[in-house]
Amino acid sequence: MKRQIITLSLILITCGCTIAGSQSTSEAIAPHKETDIENLSKRPLVKPSPAKYPIAAANEGIEGWVQLNFDINAQGNTENISVLKSNPEGVFDQAAIESLSKWEYRPKIVNGEAIHQHEMTIQLDFTLSDKNAVNSDSFTSNFTPRPPNKNQIITDQYLWKSISHSFQLYLDGKLDQAISTAKVIKTSTPFEQAYVNRLIGSFTAEKRDFDTAINYLTAATENQLLSDQDHAAALRLLADLNYQQSFYQAAIDTYKRWIRFTGDTDPQMIKRIANAEFNLKI
């Protein structure tokens, strides 16, 4: 059960506000041959919930899209999925492929028989502000983060290059290298260390090394050193991870810290607090 819940919860981690990171579909699913357009079922019969939004991309406010090439077999299932083009390159590719692989279409019938449809194309858009992707217990955030102050800006060029290098490794799909690179980054101020701790926490959470992620995120949020936006996002991720790992008291405490800090009340969060309190009593 924990494995199923964590996938859903991590979609909600963004930069500052609790908006669902989402994957939406561009308007048309087009075959390469225009003669097939009139016969194509443009809407899938089964379109699962949005693809998992990469945590680090969400935390950095990165949005993008992926253009995919695929076939629809005679049973209406997608197969032979490949990436035609993506922006940023490599960031959302795997999430898009995994999402499209679960879609099902109405089979195309020609002369009374279902046929295999080749070389279809579609674009999946990944955004952090698509309200249509937010589920029914979502809410409108009243949290307005203040701009970073002079002590919450990285001015050391060498440090920034090291952080950028680690993040680029993540974008390139080299998660282990991204983590190891971030862990040896030299910092000189408490804010810089908190910033790096949050980065490592996000990376290790995506690797599903949840205990390590909790440790780094706890250190990142122990004192309010990060910008409002980053602090709120780190608190929410930390609370969700504690909840998924059944660290119920820690989850309750961190959710309440998020509520006090942002001034918001998220219905899903309230449900989790209540469930955590129930589990502590049994």
pLDDT in tens, 80-114: 999 999 998 888 898 889 888 888 887 777 777 88
HEC string for 185-203: CCCCCHHHHHHHHHHHHHH
Name which of 114-123, 185-194, 196-205 the model is least confident about: 114-123
pLDDT band for position 49 (cuts 50, 70, 90): low
Mean pLDDT of 35-54: 53
Six-digit token string for 104: 């099902």
- Taking 80 as the threshold, does the pLDDT of residue 162 lie above it? yes
What pLDDT is attached to residue 83? Answer: 94
Query: Which of 1-10, 29-38, 190-199 is most confident?
Result: 190-199
Are 27-51+64-124 and 150-281 the same fold in CATH?
Answer: no
The more confidently predicted of residues 238 and 22 is 238
Mean pLDDT of 15-20: 28
Q: How far is CA 268 from CA 249, 256, 259, in A?
A: 17, 13, 12
At the topology level of CATH, where does 150-281 sit? 1.25.40
Burial 119-145 (b: 16+ CB within 10 A, else e): ebbbbbbbbbebeebbeeebeebeeeb
- Based on its alpha-carbon atoms, the radius of gyration of the chain, rounded to whole angstroms, reads 21
What pLDDT is attached to residue 43? Answer: 56
What pLDDT is attached to residue 189? Answer: 95
Helix (H, G, I), strand (E, B) or coil at 277: helix
- Report phi then psi at 141, rounded to 5: -75, 135
Domain edges within the chain = 27-51+64-124, 150-281
Helix (H, G, I), strand (E, B) or coil at 210: helix
* CATH class of the structural domain 27-51+64-124: alpha beta
Name which of 99-108, 147-156, 216-225 the model is least confident about: 99-108
- Taking 70 as the threshold, does the pLDDT of residue 245 lie above it? yes
- Has this prediction a pTM greater than 0.75? no
